[in-house]
Homo-oligomer: A and B are copies of this chain.
Amino acid sequence: MVQRLIPGLTRDQIVAQAFVLVEDEGLDSLSMRKLAGRMNVQAAAIYWHISGKAELLGLMARDIYAAAYAGTHGAQDWREWLRQFGRALHSSLASHRDGARLCAIARPPSPADAEKQAAHIAAPLKALGLEASVALAHQAAVISFTLGWTMFEANGPMRDFLCEMMDFDATFTIGLESLVNGLPAK
């Protein structure tokens, strides 16, 4: 087992630079060559650390979701938690350029340990009194709405026109509230 002192490249550094690249030039301009160029490295070098572009996108999406989970604190009941989570996910998606499109394209990084991951995801809602399957279903609803909305907000048809007719953020909040309030407890 040999370990370099200065590995030069790291998975985290690659993902971080990928975010910077997307921020600068947009998701469509995210290519392995450009990404490598920004790190003064050849494109093939990235493949030593990451299996391919799909995994890169997966890791980026994971970071966006992680920020959303980190943005929920001290909810008293599961509806409040879902509202917090929805708002946090929306702001996480919106704070990264093309964030929604990225999460829409990205595939799950590890379909293998889905069960463990699902349990981990359902945990906060279970702690607030929801059954596991209901927790996952409700979270799926909130994620779907939020992801769909942010995408609609960013690239949807008539975007510029609708911008003048309504407050996107306020309308999102209304939709999120409606959705969460109507979800059944069982």
Contacts and interface: CB of A to CB of B under 8 A. Distances in A.
Nearest to A179: B179
B156 A118 contact: no
Interface in A124-160: 132-133, 136-137, 140-141, 143-149, 151-152, 155-160
Given A101-B104, A104-B104, A181-B178, A152 B144 contact: yes
A144 B179 contact: no
A149 B152 CA distance: 13
A182 interface: yes
A108 B156 contact: yes
A117 interface: yes
Given A182-B179, A183-B174, A114 B147 contact: no
Contacts of A179: 145, 175, 178-179, 182
A162 B132 CA distance: 11
Interface size class of A (residues with CB under 8 A): 35 or more
A139 to B, nearest CB: 10
A121 to B, nearest CB: 8
A55 interface: no
A165 interface: yes
Interface of A: 101, 104-105, 107-108, 111, 114-115, 117-118, 132-133, 136-137, 140-141, 143-149, 151-152, 155-162, 165-166, 171, 174-175, 177-184
25 contacts: A104-B151, A105-B105, A108-B156, A108-B159, A111-B158, A114-B158, A114-B160, A114-B161, A117-B157, A117-B158, A118-B162, A132-B165, A140-B162, A141-B174, A143-B152, A144-B148, A145-B145, A145-B149, A147-B148, A147-B151, A148-B151, A174-B184, A179-B182, A181-B182, A182-B182
